[in-house]
Structure 1
């Protein structure tokens, strides 16, 4: 995390209101990246290149639908998911420094669905990078899995693991704890543990907010509620930082039946449960590691206090938050937990009212909006849509609707696939070590 999170004055916030999404990304990055690290003209060029191939001219357009529903579409990148927004910038920044320093890195990534394909897309074919991705076999959609396993570049190595996304994170954590191994093999992550991912995501909270603020509100910026479908909590961490920067947003963490974040916000109960399979599969997570960042922000950046709490959680897999900390957390965000039936009902309602298809994760946020709208809680509200409905055809069919399938997704089903299967009885950590060492030998 940054040592200091700047508070923006009204003059800056007023000026930022007129910026495009791409310009907001540059403005946010300029706050956190010193000019001596990346000169401004080069930084602007890297962001332009990162966002060059998004399918919509606004990059993240806002759809304004019936029942006061505002949907911020964050899925117009290469893999049809919001992870492309930050990951494309991570890829450009990383390439910039690797070329500058003539270095090679090994990226190790665990995914619950969308992260892996976006990470692969951002670095595929790059001679200075090898990327190793672990995916939970059979727990992603067929399209999500094929977006990873159909990439044939030599620098892409995919493992399909017989386990949950939380379980496949364990060998990754063990490897990163081995500091000698990490240093020897230049091992790094582009999961949202990587600060740059969180930093870039701050921009779409500003953009979504400004899209919802009436143009006549000049001197006083009103509150806007932003509803965030939440799994590993990297995206809502960016929202919490945006609050600290002075933007008057009220956050809502929307989760599925894997409700550890909801229980933590509502009751201070940060304790592990069993990971359940849901229709919102990318959010099937019970150990959202970015909660450590959120607790740090809520605890006034008291690192010693947060370390003590996280050590207790890692040892016991349960933690009861101090009452004052839970009160502060509840001041930062609301939360709701949404069932599979709620998701199906919401997808149907949105289609019936608007002929607009939601992915199951977007439906989590929209369910909360419909609840508030139907009870006349009608403050300005922005629902973040993290993925295209096209990636979740089975869920759309289950809702009794017909999925719209773009040709690039349809083509995936005809491509050759390549991955290594890791069974329950395999030593996942050992196999990963051997793979990384083999990459090193090949380069030598």
Structure 2
């Protein structure tokens, strides 16, 4: 298996080099040269596997034997040893047509843990094997930063700097990042929004001299290993729903999505042969992805702060990966579209291409009030407390559901991380001990202006 860039100007790379590259050197995103396809017989054989065993089977299709199986197995075991549920991503049945896949049982109570605890182990493995220091640099709308820091804090040979939008993440998200005082962690609170932070990260990774000199490595979902790790729970959920069924049924997935990485993982799983019926994209009032599916126009709009801050994103990084497949893997067309987005501020998909988009996705941008109403409704009617991002997913499920269908809605975070929204629903929740104890701890962060030069100065000081 080799990996290429969506823009076509990077020589094919192996798995480890692809992960280390992060953002492709030509500004594109790395994707597998071919997508491995899982047969129905192979899928059936996976039905009895544990989550960790399934992870190993899926990754073995992509890693070219670059990591010995026993070493990969040890990394996976360490990655999920800190999860509070032995199933890693347990499935809860709400009623006959709806299941909730709980992705928040990792150390930071968010779905990002599923991929980032493994990435921390992977970077530590590479650092030791290659004898090089690794400087991880990422932007977060809240959850990625906490999960990434937890995955690498205290690890020898690794330093991590995370940019987050100052006062635009939940208080618990902020505390999970900024109460970590390990010497290899730097938190920069940027006076801007997530898209501002993400643009700075991409600019620095595209500066190949700076990237090479400082051994920069990506932790955001521009890194393909994030995407691949997330495909595992789509397979796992499908196999759990259909356990014991003589005639396996197609499953819908409703996916809260801001940066398009989570739902793209579902798209990749479908390309691999997973029998997915609908992929439902759930966004909030920052609804660029809904508008794209509905009209074909991909155009960042006015930024809005919402009760689901992890999805307060207008520019979805992983959209380019989907565009590559939509355009039949034509890297020249992808490059032209991305240049048009940069110069004109939008791209428009029409005709057969738009019909293809609409055959592959359904989308809904839920309002703040819809999310609050659904949090209250599901607590009252099903005794299940949704976080506001998962509530967006439930809104999209209710919008797209048809009789006879079964949907798995992805619960991307524990509600304790977003108590500001839960309080508005007049619901009092009990915080898990790990979250409650954060409230009394000192914080370590540096507040900076939206100034790339100042951020670079902070990084250079940190790396020395």
Q: When the two structures are superposed, what TM-score results if normalisation uses the length of structure 1?
A: 0.95
| Runs of at least 5 residues in structure 1 that lack an aligned partner in the other structure | none
Offset, 1:17: 1.8
Alignment partner of 1:335 out of 359, 363, 371: 363
Contact 2:231/2:266 (<8 A) preserved: yes
The CA distance in 1 between the partners of 2:449 and 2:336, in whole Å, is 35
Task: Mark the CA change 1:127 to 1:216 in structure 2 (over 3 Å): closer, same or farther.
Answer: closer
The CA distance in 2 between the partners of 1:397 and 1:217, in whole Å, is 44
In the alignment, is residue 203 of structure 1 matched against residue 232 of structure 2? yes
Offset, 1:29: 0.9
Deviations 1:86-143 (A, max 9, x none): 0011111111111011110111110001000001000001121111111111111100
The CA distance in 2 between the partners of 1:183 and 1:235, in whole Å, is 29
Contact 2:256/2:390 (<8 A) preserved: yes
Alignment partner of 1:108 out of 133, 137, 140: 137
Residue of structure 1 equivalent to 2:67? 38
Deviations 1:383-441 (A, max 9, x none): 000000010111111011112201111111100101111135xx2x1122223322343
Contact 1:213/1:380 (<8 A) preserved: no
Residue of structure 2 equivalent to 1:386? 412
Contact 1:185/1:436 (<8 A) preserved: no
Residue of structure 2 equivalent to 1:433? 456
The CA distance in 1 between the partners of 2:286 and 2:378, in whole Å, is 24
Alignment partner of 1:325 out of 353, 356, 362: 353
The CA distance in 2 between the partners of 1:288 and 1:106, in whole Å, is 24
Alignment partner of 2:286 out of 258, 262, 267: 258
The CA distance in 2 between the partners of 1:68 and 1:240, in whole Å, is 21
The CA distance in 2 between the partners of 1:388 and 1:92, in whole Å, is 24
Offset, 1:356: 1.3
Offset, 1:67: 6.4
Offset, 1:68: 3.3
Residue of structure 1 equivalent to 2:424? 398
Residue of structure 1 equivalent to 2:388? 360
Aligned length, in residue pairs: 433
In the alignment, is residue 55 of structure 1 matched against residue 66 of structure 2? no
Mean CA deviation greater in 205-214 or 188-197: 205-214
The CA distance in 1 between the partners of 2:395 and 2:240, in whole Å, is 21
The CA distance in 2 between the partners of 1:209 and 1:302, in whole Å, is 31
Deviations 1:150-204 (A, max 9, x none): 0000000001111110011222222112111110110111000011000100101
Contact 1:336/1:368 (<8 A) preserved: yes
In structure 2, the residue corresponding to 1:188 is in which secondary structure? strand
Deviations 1:361-402 (A, max 9, x none): 1111112333456xx534111000000001011111101111
- Cα RMSD for the two superposed structures: 1.3
Contact 2:280/2:397 (<8 A) preserved: no
In structure 1, the residue corresponding to 2:110 is in which secondary structure? coil
Alignment partner of 1:247 out of 264, 274, 287: 274
The CA distance in 2 between the partners of 1:51 and 1:270, in whole Å, is 37
Residue of structure 1 equivalent to 2:319? 291
In the alignment, is residue 228 of structure 1 matched against residue 255 of structure 2? yes
In the alignment, is residue 369 of structure 1 matched against residue 397 of structure 2? yes
The CA distance in 1 between the partners of 2:246 and 2:333, in whole Å, is 40
Alignment partner of 1:70 out of 62, 82, 99: 99
Contact 1:74/1:387 (<8 A) preserved: yes
In structure 2, the residue corresponding to 1:65 is in which secondary structure? strand
Residue of structure 2 equivalent to 1:187? 216
Alignment partner of 1:29 out of 59, 67, 70: 59
The CA distance in 2 between the partners of 1:257 and 1:245, in whole Å, is 31
Task: Mark the CA change 1:318 to 1:132 in structure 2 (over 3 Å): closer, same or farther.
Answer: same
